[in-house]
Amino acid sequence: MIVGLIVACEVAFWVLLAAGLGFRYALRMPRTGLALLLCEPLLEVVLFAVTAIDLKNGAEPDWRHGLAAVYIGFTVGLGHSTVKWADARVAHRFADGPPPVKPPRYGTARAVQEWKVAGRWILASVVAMALLQGAVWYVGDDGDTGSLRAWQLRMLWVIGINVVIAASYTLFPKREPADQR
């Protein structure tokens, strides 16, 4: 049931995003579009509540509960930037908006961009780890929380990988080719 709800939340995220942008730009109803976009966090609230109820009703914590926490964390950390990314492209394509800003490709500006991206992934991972820790405390000593702890370890790996990537752009900045200067 939890996995099905996660899939439904992901599908609903993209449906709400498309509907919100459609109302905002195609139908020229920006308030309705904004209202639809603001409904997206409700999906995570529903997923959180259903997961908590499932655990409260005696379900043994497993990978599904951990996946729900990770999904919520990643939506918190990456959802806003995804909406902004899509909004910029739809505005440019259908509403004569300015072209989307391309991320820098070289030097310090690229390193700063990589740290911003890493920050979003780190936020997502930290939120997921906090939700997982909350689930561990919620279940208590009576349940097997090994699968939840395993997800926390995976989130530490996500943080580490993102720090290594961003640090590599800081320590070894990509240089602009000589023929483009």
Residue 180 domain-assigned? no
pLDDT, position 174: 85
Segment 10-30 mean pLDDT: 95
pTM above 0.75, yes or no: yes
Which long-range contacts (C-beta less than 8 Å, at least 24 apart) are formed by 44-48?
44/9, 44/71, 44/72, 44/75, 44/76, 46/5, 46/9, 47/5, 47/6, 47/9, 47/71, 47/72, 48/72, 48/131
Residue 181 has pLDDT above 70, yes or no: no
Residue 106 domain-assigned? yes
Segment 71-99 mean pLDDT: 95
Residue 50 domain-assigned? yes
**Domain boundaries, position 55:** 2-175
pLDDT, position 176: 85
pLDDT, position 52: 92
Question: What percentage of the chain has pLDDT greater than the value 70?
Answer: 99
Residue 43 domain-assigned? yes
Q: How do residues 85-97 score in pLDDT, each as one tens digit?
A: 999 999 999 999 9
Query: Measuring CA to CA, which residue among 120, 141, 145 is closest to residue 132?
Result: 145
Number of domains in the chain: 1
pLDDT, position 140: 85
Residue 109 domain-assigned? yes
**Confidence bin at 17 (pLDDT 50/70/90):** very high
Encoding tokens for residue 171? 């320590």
Residue 181 domain-assigned? no
Residue 56 has pLDDT above 90, yes or no: no
Residue 166 has pLDDT above 90, yes or no: yes
Residue 167 domain-assigned? yes
**Confidence bin at 148 (pLDDT 50/70/90):** very high
Residue 53 domain-assigned? yes
CA distance 26 to 112: 35
- Mean pLDDT score of the chain: 94
